[in-house]
Chains A and B, each alone.
Chain A
Amino acid sequence: MRIALILLGVAAALIAPFFVYPVLLMTILCFVVFATSFNLLLGYVGLLCFGQAMFLGLSAYVTGHILKTTDLSLEIAILAGALVSAVLGAFVGFVAVRRSGIQFAMITFAFAQFVYFLLLRSEFTGGENGMQGIPRSELFGIFDVSDTLTFYYVILGMTALAILLAYRVIHSPYGEILKAIRDNEPRVESLGFKPERFKILAMSISAGIAGFAGGMKAAVYGFATLTDVSWTVSGEVILMTLLGGLGTLTGPMVGAGIVIVMNDELAQFGEWALIAQGIILILVILFFRRGVVGEAGAFFRRRQARAKDAPAGKPREAE
């Protein structure tokens, strides 16, 4: 059942560009990776980073700058962007883990605005105008990826790699400790682990993956703007993750898809895209905290186990 679903998803992703505008699909893929990075923190460590956009945006600028000013190949530029974001993530983590829970969110929020401000003032970013004309250098220095359809498959492959990495982290012994920190931090500490170190590393990995998404995005669009660093994008990724299903691997993918398509549809109606985001986020928090994937899973489990009286998985609440 599960394998069939995965295969179906892969098949759909492979033929999708023949039916849907590939740039829209690539945008979705970038945000799938971005939302996955956010979910890694909130869903599996319980840390709400309210400034995830700083990692996306910074890396987009770094990747763009490398592509514009050097002959380095595409994947190196994107990885370099991801690396810079990972370093920033480690630093933000180092400072922010000093306060737990809600204050962590506030500190990361302030941090993101600081990064926004720095990028606004920096010469190389082009300030308010953003960074234009980012070339799409050859992949591995040999493959030409200027064709949109070809590039779609490259982006698809990169997305798969990023998700695989997140999957490996979550299902490693290290990921188990992260989940234990989420569920009962004092116990983890009493076992002799230092939760702070694990959190900082998780923050760095998450930032790196978000940066990877930012690099991809810069290459897809050929430009990078301050929007990528703004708090509306930091909020968008929260919506994607919660709407899709917090703490599930597929949730952020579904959420990213829905939100990007919705933004695309509502783009012509001025403020309504943001208003709709707000309303949906409210509804999700009040009524559907398991998100689309979580609710669907619970629905199927209830159907399967109607006779057996097996309790459906409940999301983490109230601690």
Chain B
Amino acid sequence: MPTDTALLEVTDLRAWYAESQALQGIGFRVNPGELVTLIGRNGAGKTTTLRSIMGIVKNRKGSIRFEGNELIGKRTYQIARQGIAYCPEERGIFASLSVRENLSLPPTLKSGGMSEDALFETFPNLRARASSRGTQLSGGEQQMLAIARILRNGCRFLLLDEPSEGLAPVVVKEIGAQIRRLKAQGYTILLVEQNLNFARSVADRHVVIEHGTVVDQLTNDELSADLNRVKTYLGV
């Protein structure tokens, strides 16, 4: 994989929360159309990596290049406007907004964003709840809404933080199907996961993170061939 084809290239990323260093020098790349997971234990630095890419963690050093442009030093909204969408772990559904308001909140940043109708087509469950308050939805519906919402503004690179967390197996399956569909539509996705089976069901490649560094990288086939190679890191 030559460098010039990478959509996202993270090099020696270090990040700090207040005084404590959370990332010790993360490096990996994501190629166009790929679905890459960041896997690792709780507190390993997966979420911090996403938040650093997005500029939500501001105290960060190293290099994050997206389509060749450096993101370090840019503000969150500027990063979003480059074409990166972020779906946080806590989903971030706004309680004071209706489902429709939640969905239509992101402005159009790039052409090719999905219309409200197209989104309701893709996520039919949401249509029936369009005028409910965002937080009256079930966990699965909230997750669907959170993913649907970031498809609005036309970004083609998605950062998804643990979409399977806290959901029933049948809902996780549905989310998995949606994510595969997005990949088939050409979205590039960087996914944070702890659920190894879920990660295997959707990803091309895995980046294993521990103590704020990358300790292993492997393709999905390599993972399937040797599950134990990763299980030790996850402490499963």
Contacts and interface: CB of A to CB of B under 8 A. Distances in A.
Contacts of B19: 311, 314
Contacts of B18: 318
A310 to B, nearest CB: 13
A314 B16 CA distance: 16
Interface string B1-41: 00000000000000000110000000000000000000000
A311 B16 CA distance: 15
Contacts of A318: 18
Interface string A292-319: 0000000000000000000100100010
Q: Dominant SS at the A interface?
A: loop
A314 B18 CA distance: 11
B170 to A, nearest CB: 35
Contacts of A314: 19
Interface string B104-142: 000000000000000000000000000000000000000
Contacts of A311: 19
A217 B96 CA distance: 52
Chain B residues touching A, range: under 10
B59 to A, nearest CB: 11
A193 B209 CA distance: 38
Interface residues of A, number: 3
B56 to A, nearest CB: 14
Nearest to A317: B18
Nearest to B18: A318
A318 B19 CA distance: 12
A314 B20 CA distance: 13
A315 to B, nearest CB: 12
Nearest to A318: B18
A311 B19 CA distance: 10
A102 to B, nearest CB: 21
A295 to B, nearest CB: 19
A317 to B, nearest CB: 8
A318 B18 CA distance: 9
A24 B18 CA distance: 43
A311 B21 CA distance: 14
B57 to A, nearest CB: 13
A238 B18 CA distance: 26
A318 B17 CA distance: 11
A254 to B, nearest CB: 27
A172 B18 CA distance: 28
A36 B18 CA distance: 29
A116 to B, nearest CB: 38
B209 to A, nearest CB: 26
A32 to B, nearest CB: 32
B138 to A, nearest CB: 28
A319 to B, nearest CB: 9
A192 to B, nearest CB: 26
A308 B19 CA distance: 18
A87 to B, nearest CB: 39
A288 B19 CA distance: 19
A222 B18 CA distance: 50
A311 B18 CA distance: 13
B33 to A, nearest CB: 40
B20 to A, nearest CB: 12
Interface in A11-63: none
A282 to B, nearest CB: 24
Nearest to A314: B19
Interface in B139-175: none
B21 to A, nearest CB: 13
A290 to B, nearest CB: 16
A232 to B, nearest CB: 35
A54 B18 CA distance: 37
A182 to B, nearest CB: 15
Nearest to A311: B19
B16 to A, nearest CB: 13
B18 to A, nearest CB: 8
A267 to B, nearest CB: 43
3 contacts: A311-B19, A314-B19, A318-B18
Interface of B: 18-19
Q: Which 3 A-B pairs have the closest CB atoms?
A: A318-B18, A314-B19, A311-B19
Interface of A: 311, 314, 318
